[in-house]
């Protein structure tokens, strides 16, 4: 199963200047719970936005740069795979029961055609952004569940976890 996982504002805002535009600790916990132990596919800029590779996940990094290899410690290298297309990334992840596409915007656009599920955190608000999530075509996707999270002392924005399945 190929699952896109993302958090996007009401106008599909994802981020600005290669960074998130909100801080949602419960969404981070959900992301960790869902992706731990799995292959995560991402673009180079998304990978480079992390302070270090995410633990207990295999990182498949897509880049056009054929000489690219991230600066990681020797013990982190075993969980890093560099490829040059989404097709190559999916081949590297073949045989995995679940694979997560974690961004950025260009990789989400490419993966909409091949994904089986979308785990979307819809952040309630509009934000200044330079990267956007693709529009979900409701003739191809059906929302199968949603769970609302209110604003609280740790979350400046309310949000809704949405699960979408390919029709």
- What are the domain boundaries of the chain? 10-34+109-167, 39-95
Q: What is the mean pLDDT of residues 140-148?
A: 98
Beta bridge partners of residue 4, listed in sequence order: 101, 118
- pLDDT at site 154: 97
pLDDT at 140: 97
Does this model's pTM top 0.95? My answer is: yes
What is the third-level CATH fold of 10-34+109-167? Answer: Dihydrofolate Reductase, subunit A (3.40.430)
Mean of pLDDT values over 113-118: 98
Output the pLDDT for position 146: 98
Percentage of the chain surpassing pLDDT 90? Answer: 99
Q: What is the pLDDT averaged over residues 106-134?
A: 98
Which residue spans within the chain are E strands per DSSP? 2-8, 13-16, 19-20, 39-43, 58-62, 80-83, 99-103, 117-123, 131-132, 141-149, 159-166
> Which pLDDT belongs to residue 83?
98
């Amino acid at each position: 199963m190929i699952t896109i996982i993302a958090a996007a504002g009401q106008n599909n805002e994802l981020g600005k200047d290669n960074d998130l535009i909100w801080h949602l600790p419960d969404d981070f916990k959900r992301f960790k719970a869902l992706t731990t132990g799995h292959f995560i596919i991402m673009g180079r800029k998304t990978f480079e936005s992390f302070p270090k590779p995410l633990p207990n996940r295999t990182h498949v990094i897509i880049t056009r740069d054929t000489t690219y290899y991230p600066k990681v410690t020797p013990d982190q290298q075993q969980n890093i795979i560099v490829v040059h297309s989404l097709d190559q990334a999916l081949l590297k992840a073949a045989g995995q029961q679940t694979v997560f596409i974690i961004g950025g915007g260009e990789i989400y656009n490419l993966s909409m055609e091949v994904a089986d599920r979308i785990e979307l955190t819809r952040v309630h608000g509009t934000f200044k952004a330079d990267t956007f999530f693709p529009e979900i075509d409701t003739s191809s996707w059906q929302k199968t569940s949603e769970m609302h999270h209110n604003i609280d002392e740790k979350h400046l924005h309310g949000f809704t976890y949405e699960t979408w399945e390919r029709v």
